[in-house]
């Protein structure tokens, strides 16, 4: 392991004079790359015509088959962040970023072989499984490091990184389209070459982040920063061991808070284009709907930074109260915007809703830090991301099936989404209740000393090999 010793946590400890403002760009190097996942749909249509070129042949892949690639990747995002969270936390951010870069770019290269050989299972394995692991490890890799560098503004710091995940699609989408057009010929669609190029570019970009990143020296504090003299009720000064966090009601309440907030947002995010056109037939064209989706993506990204930064001032619990209360009101208003024919009101409602969807992702690491301390926050965050995987399955299914049910029962298309909006509002009410019950973690879960931490880690290593492997 000598050649790879530069990846060790000990080699990433910052020396005096290192600026903490170098760490957010390092985190963004990773998150901007893995955020490509949101733009994967640009490959869907070209991949349905790899054999037929101009039109699909019976042997070409179907859209429904290709839809599984993204779903598998998001599933493995949740699984890998949960399984490898503790390894990421203890191995340090550089090792995690390096591993994420290998998985992410390796996923693209395997997928390129899958496209060449026209074997879909290779793409499921490459982009879905391996790339999904890169997503999970990369997503959590900078979180606890940022929180340790910015104890005065943890929400803003993690918001910046997670904003990058929302923004990655803005780069990936035009870049992928341009690469495909460059590599394509009248007899060939350049998807495989695009995958290879993206794999190489993303590996380089993520490695820059891995080389820049540093962890603060033990006991480091920002200049002029003094921790609050009077302990705040919902911000702990103690740490909770990663697996002990699972035994607390707070973990599961926040799990549901994230799951419900994401379910409500993700369902409409995927349907925004169709919904706007069906609710305002003849007034919102396909081109305008595409513009609406782009605007939603911008608010999804901006909301991550805005709401996470706001949470530093108003508190995490209050921030989620805003998401759930305001979200409920806005979802209930959407059907009325359709009935009065106000496109502007409809757009405003959804832009605010989607900003809070992004804000939910970005605020949750700081919420966990407040509840469980900084020591294992990355690993606990990894476990919590299983809520995202769950929401990724339920959200779109809920929206699609309710719409189908309504249409088959004679509801006009313009009103087919009304029931869905009220169900989303109900989900947010449930989230509000979960958030209400989040209290400070009981002191029996707190790690007492560093020695106890070592003992717990040793015990866990004997009983659960994968996390510590």
Partner 1 sequence: MANEDQQGTTTLQLVLAWSFVGIPLALGVLQTLINAMKLFQ
Going residue by residue from 295 to 324, which x/- string records binding to partner 1, judged by CB under 8 A?
A: x-xx--x-----------------------
Residues 213-252 that bind partner 1 (CB under 8 A): 214
Helix H or strand E segment including 384: helix 377-384
Under rule CB under 8 A, residue 348 binds partner 1: no
The encoded tokens of residue 201 equal 């570019």
Query: If binding means CB under 8 A, how many residues of this protein chain bind partner 1?
Result: 37
Contact 301, 358 (CB under 8 A): yes
- Beta partners for 115? none
- Residue 347 lies near partner 1 (rule: CB under 8 A): yes
Residue 97 near partner 1 by CB under 8 A: no
Q: Name residues contacting partner 1, limited to 178-217 (CB under 8 A).
A: 208, 212, 214
User: Residue 165, interface with partner 1 (CB under 8 A)?
Assistant: no
- The alpha carbon of 292 is separated from its chain's Cα centroid by a whole number of angstroms, namely 21
Q: Least Å distance between CB 56 and partner 1?
A: 26
The residue range among 22-30, 191-199, 352-360, 372-380 that interacts with partner 1, by the rule CB under 8 A, is 22-30
Assigned token pair, 141: 């890799």
Residues 223/84, Cβ–Cβ less than 8 Å: no
Residue from 1, 3, 15, 218 that binds partner 1 (CB under 8 A)?
15
CA distance linking residue 111 with residue 125, whole number of Å: 8
Question: Residue 328 CB, nearest distance to partner 1 (Å)?
Answer: 26
State the minimum distance, in angstroms, from the CB of residue 96 to partner 1: 17
Can you state the angle between helices 249-279 and 286-314, rounded to 10 degrees? 150
Q: Which is nearer to partner 1, 185 or 223 (CB)?
A: 223
**Residue 269 in contact with partner 1, rule: CB under 8 A:** no
Chosen residue from 1, 3, 16, 449 binding partner 1 by CB under 8 A: 16
Distance of CA 400 to CAs 404, 420, 451, Å?
Answer: 6, 9, 52
11 binds partner 1 (CB under 8 A): yes
In whole angstroms, the minimum distance from the beta carbon of 243 to partner 1 comes to: 33
* Nearer Cβ to partner 1 (279/380): 279
Is residue 6 close enough to count as binding partner 1 by CB under 8 A? yes
| Helix-strand-coil split of the chain, %, nearest 5 | 80, 0, 20
Return the ∠ at Cα 289 (arms to 288 and 291), rounded to 5°: 65
Of 107-115, 163-171, 383-391, 424-432, the window that binds partner 1 (rule: CB under 8 A) is: 163-171
**DSSP H stretches of helix in 92-142:** 93-117, 120-123, 131-140
Closest contact distance (angstroms) between CB of 169 and partner 1 is 8
234 vs 455: CA distance, rounded Å: 27
Interatomic CA distance for residues 196 and 142, integer angstroms: 26
Q: Select from 294, 341, 437, 448 the one that contacts partner 1 (CB under 8 A).
A: 294
- Residue 51 beta carbon to partner 1: minimum distance, rounded to whole angstroms: 30
**Nearest 10 degrees: Cα torsion 306, 310, 316, 317:** -100
- Residue of 2, 3, 4, 21 that binds partner 1 (CB under 8 A): 21
161 Cβ neighbours under 8 A, 6+ residues apart? 24, 27, 28, 30, 31, 142, 143, 146
Closer to partner 1 by CB, 91 or 166: give it: 166
Q: Which residues bind partner 1 (CB under 8 A)?
A: 6, 11, 14-19, 21-22, 25-26, 28-29, 32, 164, 167, 169-171, 173-174, 208, 212, 214, 287-292, 294-295, 297-298, 301, 347
């Amino acid at each position: 392991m000598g050649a790879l010793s530069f990846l060790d946590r000990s080699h990433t400890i910052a020396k005096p004079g290192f600026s903490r403002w170098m760490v957010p760009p390092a985190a963004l190097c990773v998150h901007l790359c893995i955020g490509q996942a949101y733009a994967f749909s640009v490959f869907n249509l070209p991949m349905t015509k790899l054999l037929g070129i101009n039109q699909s042949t019976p042997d070409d892949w179907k859209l429904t088959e290709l839809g599984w690639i993204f779903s598998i990747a998001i599933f493995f995002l949740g699984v890998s962040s949960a399984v490898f969270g503790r390894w990421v936390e203890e191995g340090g951010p550089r090792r995690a970023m390096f591993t994420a870069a290998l998985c992410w770019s390796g996923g693209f290269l395997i997928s390129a072989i899958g496209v060449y050989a026209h074997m879909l299972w290779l793409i499921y394995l490459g982009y879905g499984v391996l790339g999904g692991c890169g997503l999970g490890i990369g997503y959590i890799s900078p979180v606890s490091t940022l929180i340790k560098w910015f104890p005065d503004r943890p929400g803003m710091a993690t918001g910046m990184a997670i904003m990058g995940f929302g923004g990655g699609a803005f780069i990936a989408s035009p870049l992928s389209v341009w690469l495909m057009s460059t590599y394509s010929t009248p007899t060939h669609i350049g998807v495989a070459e695009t995958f290879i190029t993206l794999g190489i570019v993303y590996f380089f970009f993520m490695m820059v982040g891995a080389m820049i990143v540093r962890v603060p020296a033990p006991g480091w504090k920002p200049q002029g920063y003094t921790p609050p003299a009077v302990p705040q009720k919902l911000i702990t000064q103690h740490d909770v061991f990663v697996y002990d966090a699972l035994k607390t009601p707070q973990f599961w309440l926040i799990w549901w808070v994230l799951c419900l907030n994401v379910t409500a947002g993700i369902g409409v995010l995927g349907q925004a284009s169709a919904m706007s056109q069906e609710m305002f037939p003849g007034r919102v064209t396909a081109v305008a709907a595409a513009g609406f989706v782009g605007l939603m993506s911008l608010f999804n990204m901006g909301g991550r930074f805005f709401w996470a930064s706001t949470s530093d001032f108003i508190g995490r619990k209050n921030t989620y109260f805003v998401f759930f209360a305001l979200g409920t009101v806005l979802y209930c208003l959407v059907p009325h915007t359709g009935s009065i024919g106000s496109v502007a009101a409809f757009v405003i409602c959804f832009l605010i809703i989607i900003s809070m969807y992004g804000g939910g992702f970005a605020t949750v690491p700081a919420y966990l830090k407040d509840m469980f301390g900084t020591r294992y926050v990355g690993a606990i965050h990894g476990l919590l991301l299983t809520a995202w995987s769950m929401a990724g399955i339920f959200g779109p299914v809920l929206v699609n099936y309710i719409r189908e049910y309504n249409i088959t029962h004679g509801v006009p298309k313009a009103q087919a989404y009304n029931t869905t909006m009220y169900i989303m509002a109900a989900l947010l009410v449930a989230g509000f209740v979960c958030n209400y019950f989040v209290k400070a973690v009981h002191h029996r879960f707190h790690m007492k000393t560093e020695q106890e931490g070592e003992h717990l880690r040793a015990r866990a290593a004997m009983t659960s090999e994968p996390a510590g492997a």
